[in-house]
Amino acid sequence: MLQQLFTPSVQHTLDLIGIFVFAISGALLAVRKNFDIFGIAVLAEVTALGGGLIRDLIIGAVPPAAFTDLGYFVTPLFAAVLVFFLHPQVQRIQTGVNVFDAAGLGLFCVAGTTKAYEYGLGLTASATLGLATAVGGGVLRDIIANEVPSLVRWDRDLYAVPAIVGSAIVVLCIRFQALNPGTSAVAAIVAFAVRLLALKYHWRAPRAWNRRSSAVEVEEG
């Protein structure tokens, strides 16, 4: 067992902030897809809690935290109600939402990696589950909304990379016995910053190589 990263109440507050901002992104997509109030609530819950749920099922932490902590369950409902009534205002501050979502990404990849390691997984598997915690909810959100997950779309700014960077910093710290509240915070902040830079400069990942390099291929893009 690792030492507690933060005091329990600080960790819990950070978790709730991450859950809230992810729930906002789910609720906004639901409004865009013309879902009713229950659809908004479902998508808020799934986006906010789906990544952690997948992680907990895989590491055998049942029942998952999403079902044992009432605050985890109620927070997305609050976000859903907020978006239900105020969605134009929320959309108008889309930049703000993106910043908070980036913060959620940083917090979740660190928390997910740490929890997976505490349950006995190896370093690579822990980092993978940190990534899954951070991006899993968004993938489930897009599947339910019947869209290609924005995680895998080439025309979206980098989302996986910041989470991979954050998770990698955490496992490197574990490897060199340097994980503590300070280095955890650094990992989360670096992931957060990389995501903000990706948004600002529209960093994108390459598509398959020979779309550009192969002379025998016609440009398909």
Minimum CB distance to its own copies smaller for 127 or for 183: 127
Minimum CB distance to its own copies smaller for 80 or for 188: 80
- The binder of its own copies chosen from 85, 95, 215, 219 (CB under 8 A): 85
Give me 49's structure tokens: 């809690």
Q: Is 16 in the site for its own copies (CB under 8 A)?
A: no
Nearest to 159 by CA among 174, 149, 168: 149
Q: Is 209 in the site for its own copies (CB under 8 A)?
A: yes
Nearest to 28 by CA among 44, 12, 13, 15: 44
Q: How far is the CB of 58 from its own copies (least distance, A)?
A: 6
Whether 28 contacts 87, CB under 8 Å: yes
Q: How far is the CB of 56 from its own copies (least distance, A)?
A: 9
Minimum CB distance to its own copies smaller for 27 or for 188: 27
Determine the Cα angle at 113 with ends 112 and 119, to 5°: 90
Instruction: Please identify which residue in the block is written with the tokens 């501050």.
Output: 93
Distance between CA atoms of 121 and 124, rounded to whole angstroms? 8
- Letters for 113-152 (x = contact with its own copies by CB under 8 A, - = none) are ------xxxx-xx--xx---------x---xxxxxxx-xx
